[in-house]
Structure 1
Amino acid sequence: MRFILIPLPPHLPVRWPKIYTGRVTKVGSFATHDLRSNYIKKNGSWGLLKKWLANASGHKCWYCEAKSIRSPFDVDHFRPKLGITVDGIKLVGHNGYYWLAYEWWNFRLSCQRCNRPEKDDGDTLHGKANEFPIQDEAHRCQLPIGSLTSEAPRLLDPCVQADCGLLAHGIDGEVKPAAPVGTWEYQRASYTIDRLGFNEWNTPETKKIPWRLLDDLIRLAGNQPAVITHLQEHLSNDHEYSSFYRSAIGTHRDKAWVDKIWLETL
């Protein structure tokens, strides 16, 4: 997970402000949740921002940094729009953050594996879906007039730089919590890793295979133009799993030429 700095308006797509105003006005006019829900389900206009969101991350999933080659990305609502689950159990008495359904700052570009519910080989359910637990339910925002800042989400947010720093990347390809066991930060990282399945679907091996080649190039070929180019590519923010490669390549920072490249691409 790399920090995503969402480009601020007026860089939004030209059509979006008009569509946004119409959708928000309509949602606000409904008296019941059923009416709001039906309207929002039929008017998923956030798809118009998919390309804009993809450009912000180098066309990578904002959560796991995978590039979705053969399936389309989803536009995830960080705070779910039409219902909430906590550890897979529906939260009674809360109909979701419907008033945020069309707020661009609540959107996160997500691969389908991170966003959609799916069981792994061990029958464990992964995928964000409507999951949104917070540290203290007493501080859950219930209405548009409530304060979102009172919530402390358990799920790490790629749009919060400090959250991204709570994940560590081993040369085994696995994502691990960076904070000490027992802390709230550890709980958040562990939950995010498990819920989004960062270490499932053979993902660690997918990262390790090209790393083995890079590792050999660094050790055997050394400070050569072709090797430097490969390192720069893998350290680029646009590269798939670049956080992993930054950590893995960082194991060779005892070599001055590697350290120089590593620092130049921060």
Structure 2
Amino acid sequence: MRAKELKGYELRQVIIQGTPPQAWIDKTEAASTELCAATTVEERETVIEKYKRLWQDPLLKNWLLQQFNNKCWYTEAQDSVSAYHVDHFRPKGRVTDASGNQSGGYWWLAFEWKNYRISGQLPNIRKKDLFHINGTRLPQLAVDDNDLTLEAPELIDPIGHDTRHITYDIPDDSGDCLAVSVHETLEESQRQYYAIDHGKAQYTIDVLGLNKIPTLKAKRTEFWNMCTAEIQKYENTCTAPHVMQSVLRPGIIKNLRKMVMYEAEFSSISAACINKNAPKPLVDEVFAPLG
């Protein structure tokens, strides 16, 4: 498997393999050199504008899209969040924190491919420059991976382990499949131990508008309902003769396994639905490691 197995409760983590094409990396050298030589905000903005086509380059964009089978990294959608943008996870121009305070952006990461994420246009427009940091921001020119881990963004990174704090459910009578914090249903006495993680999940859901984009909600709900239908088929076999169970169940299990594969659209929605609604024998079959 390319990625760790889903356990049925988490937003899918994007696993990066390799590096962008060398031809694209070579193109960034002049831009990076010129950017680091700039000494004023105006000069930096001019350099970034001059070379902005670098992160729009098909060489880079196609490589990024291949990492997650042409899915938005924040939503797992393929067509319900409009066109794809190459998003700067840490905003390059300016940063707006949770209180609305603004400061200079991470301009030195403008051409750093490790700061790029594939985002649907709709969540990317909502995200804009919103990027709250808990604690102290990194000093300028900190680009090393080890340095970046010392910073504590409130926004969950789709390539990080914190994706496990978001899941999906149909929590109310609206019938809509919504993104929710995995800690939402905990008793208050227990949730206090996950306050930071719960806050990150809520901030991410709000900033990206995960429950505010109608086309995205509709598509998620469609996949949830498809998964529910497969579960119902499995449950219906319980009253069938043994020979029919042995004929019907493998096909249902195969269908559900396809729905939770890394490459599948909305795989985390399907996994959450199975984990919540399927009988344990079916859950065990779907998530059993493939030998």
Percent of paired sites with the same residue: 30
TM-score normalised per structure 1: 0.84
Aligned partner of 1:7 among 17, 31, 43 = 17
2:150 matches 1:150: yes
What is the CA–CA distance in structure 1 between the aligned matches of 2:107 and 2:56, rounded to whole Å?
17
2:119 matches 1:105: no
How far has the Cα of 1:63 moved from its partner?
0.8
Partner of 2:43: 35
The answer to whether the Cα contact below 8 Å between 2:231 and 2:278 also exists between their aligned partners in 1 is no
How far has the Cα of 1:72 moved from its partner?
2.5
The one-character-per-residue Cα deviations of 1:206-234 (angstroms, maximum 9, x if unpaired) are 32234324323322354445433421221
The answer to whether the Cα contact below 8 Å between 1:3 and 1:160 also exists between their aligned partners in 2 is yes
The one-character-per-residue Cα deviations of 1:134-155 (angstroms, maximum 9, x if unpaired) are 112xx11231158433321000
Partner of 1:175: 179
Q: 4+ runs of 1 displaced by more than 6 Å?
A: none
The answer to whether the Cα contact below 8 Å between 2:227 and 2:270 also exists between their aligned partners in 1 is no
Equivalences for 1:1-266 in 2 at 5 Å? Answer: 1-9=11-19, 12-44=20-52, 45-48=54-57, 49-68=60-79, 71-87=82-98, 89-91=100-102, 94-116=103-125, 127-136=126-135, 139-145=136-142, 147-161=147-161, 163-172=162-171, 173-179=177-183, 180=191, 183-202=195-214, 203-220=216-233, 222=237, 223-264=248-289
Query: In structure 1, what residue type is equivalent to 2:268?
Result: S
Structure that is richer in helix per residue: 2
What is the CA–CA distance in structure 2 between the aligned matches of 1:62 and 1:205, rounded to whole Å?
18
Q: Which runs of 5+ in 2 are unaligned?
A: 1-10, 172-176, 184-190, 238-247
What is the CA–CA distance in structure 2 between the aligned matches of 1:184 and 1:255, rounded to whole Å?
31
What is the CA–CA distance in structure 2 between the aligned matches of 1:52 and 1:86, rounded to whole Å?
31
- Output the aligned Cα RMSD: 2.3
TM-score normalised per structure 2: 0.77
Distance 1:229 1:171, change over 3 A: farther
The answer to whether the Cα contact below 8 Å between 2:81 and 2:121 also exists between their aligned partners in 1 is no
Query: In structure 1, what residue type is equivalent to 2:110?
Result: A
Larger Rg, first or second structure (1 or 2): 2
The answer to whether the Cα contact below 8 Å between 1:250 and 1:259 also exists between their aligned partners in 2 is no
Instruction: Return the structure number with greater relative CO, CA threshold 8 A, min gap 6.
Output: 2
> What SS does structure 1 have at the residue aligned with 2:87?
strand
Query: In structure 1, what residue type is equivalent to 2:17?
Result: P
